[in-house]
Amino acid sequence: MSGAEAAHGPVGGGERLRRALADRGFDVDVEIDGTLAVLRLAAQGLNGPALADPAARADVVRLGREAGFTHVALELAPPVEHIDAAASVDDASVHRPDARG
Amino acid sequence: MDDDVRLSEGEERLGGWLREESGRGILVGFSGGVDSAYLACVAVAVLGPDRVLAVIGRSPSFSAEQRTIAHDVAERFAIPYVEIETRELADARYVANPSNRCYYCKTELWSRLAPLAAERGLLLVDGTNADDLADYRPGAAAGRERGVRSPLAECDLSKADIRALSRRRGLPTAALPASPCLASRLPYGTAVTADRLARVERAERALRDLGVVGDLRVRFQGDLARVELRPSELDRWMEPDAAERLRAAVVSAGFRRVAVDLRGFRSGSLNVLAGVGSGVGG
């Protein structure tokens, strides 16, 4: 599974929850602390707008309960920093493998 | 029976209890919460202010917001009060945060209030209500050991009754959300420190300042704050822009990471968490 599964969590619960959420189209990282599952929506964009929908939240909580968790929380991601790649990467810093090698 | 009549009878029972049982008067452990505010208010009306003393126990686990409410209620309803410092954080048994942590906190509180009551010949009372008797409340044992009486419970007044009767009296606490001490935000087994309590308090204050209303808890999970909001607030704060403002507010209070509980506020939420404290932050 992705994410850290600590001792005392429901055995295999993190992976079950991750798979169940993947079936619904959520690419999540599940971090476990006891019977708390902390979800990070890796590919869902800032803070997973889909979970602003109460029905979607209730569904996730239900899946968490079925996987053995008493609490399911969504970690709020900090804003994505947008880097101007053209400005921040100068030519000299680019590693160029030797084509001959 | 008509609910109004039933409530009036309940308050009459309380008045009778106070007249018969209090002797020279009462000293009430006063948090400014729904129960103790109502009890002190009725006691002043029934016994007169000279026979009532409300005592606020001040410590890092008692939030500044709650302290302000306690002062405001006492001032507005002419409840005589004093404030004393309690030092539960000096007790290693309390700091270790076992599941009976409240016992050590209340032991400290009542051990400071008992001499005050004895000096003045007052009966020690608390705001325990009839519903509380069915809950797991280790703090109640500390009160019983020191002879603390619970008039609201003894008169069979429930929390709902007390809120309704508080509304009748115009008490601002009538609709106040339950406000357990800040230590309740730390999972059992996680050491209670002034710094952690302050961090939780700052985070909850920051969220109130942001506009969060209703039940709110910032649960301490190491460097992660798990925020519990009431369901209608959850809808509002899960919108991306709002979520970012919420996150930033909690981070500004000293947490590195912020998570929102997807089920929302639950009273005693940490009681049902098993094995916490091992996997999220430090």
Residue B213 touches partner A, C-beta closer than 8 Å: no
Q: Where do runs of H (alpha helix) occur along B22-82?
A: 34-47, 64-76
CB of B196 closer than 8 Å to CB of B221: no
Could you report the per-residue pLDDT of A52-61, keeping only the tens digit for each? Answer: 888 989 999 9
CB of B97 closer than 8 Å to CB of B189: yes
Could you report the per-residue pLDDT of B71-110, keeping only the tens digit for each? Answer: 999 999 999 999 999 999 999 999 999 999 999 999 999 9
* Mean pLDDT confidence for B196-212: 97
Q: In chain B, what residues touch A24 (CB-CB under 8 Å)?
A: none
Strands B216-221 and B123-125 turn out to be unpaired
Binned at pLDDT 50, 70 and 90, residue B6 comes out as very high
Q: Which pLDDT value is given to residue A99?
A: 41
Whether residue B221 has pLDDT greater than 60 = yes
Higher-pLDDT residue of B186 and B267 is B186
B3-175: CATH topology is Rossmann fold (3.40.50)
Q: In chain A, what residues touch B272 (CB-CB under 8 Å)?
A: 35, 70-71
Contact B258 A75 (CB under 8 A): yes
Distance (Å) from the alpha carbon of A96 to chain B's nearest alpha carbon? 37
Q: In chain B, what residues touch A71 (CB-CB under 8 Å)?
A: 226, 261, 263, 269, 272-273
**Rounded to an integer, what distance in angstroms lies between the CA atom of residue A5 and that of residue A13?**
9
**Distance in Å from the first CA to the final CA of chain B:** 55
CB of A4 closer than 8 Å to CB of A31: yes
Whether residue B278 has pLDDT greater than 50 = no
Is B3-175's fold the same as B182-274's?
Answer: no
Please indicate, yes or no, whether the overall pTM of this predicted structure exceeds 0.90. Answer: no
Higher-pLDDT residue of B161 and B180 is B161
The SS3 call for residue B160 is helix
Whether residue A95 has pLDDT greater than 90 = no
How many other C-beta atoms can be found within 10 angstroms of the C-beta atom of residue B1?
Answer: 7
Distance (Å) from the alpha carbon of A78 to chain B's nearest alpha carbon? 7
- Any idea where the domains of chain B sit in the sequence? 3-175, 182-274
Could you report the per-residue pLDDT of B97-148, keeping only the tens digit for each? Answer: 999 999 999 999 999 999 999 999 999 999 999 999 988 888 889 999 999 9
Binned at pLDDT 50, 70 and 90, residue A81 comes out as low
Could you report the per-residue pLDDT of A30-80, keeping only the tens digit for each? Answer: 999 989 999 988 655 444 566 788 898 999 999 999 999 999 999 998 876
Whether residue A7 has pLDDT greater than 90 = no
| Class of the domain covering B182-274 | alpha beta
Q: Which residue of B has its CA nearest to A32?
A: B279
DSSP symbol at A73 = E
Mean pLDDT, chain B, whole residue set? 93
Binned at pLDDT 50, 70 and 90, residue A4 comes out as very low
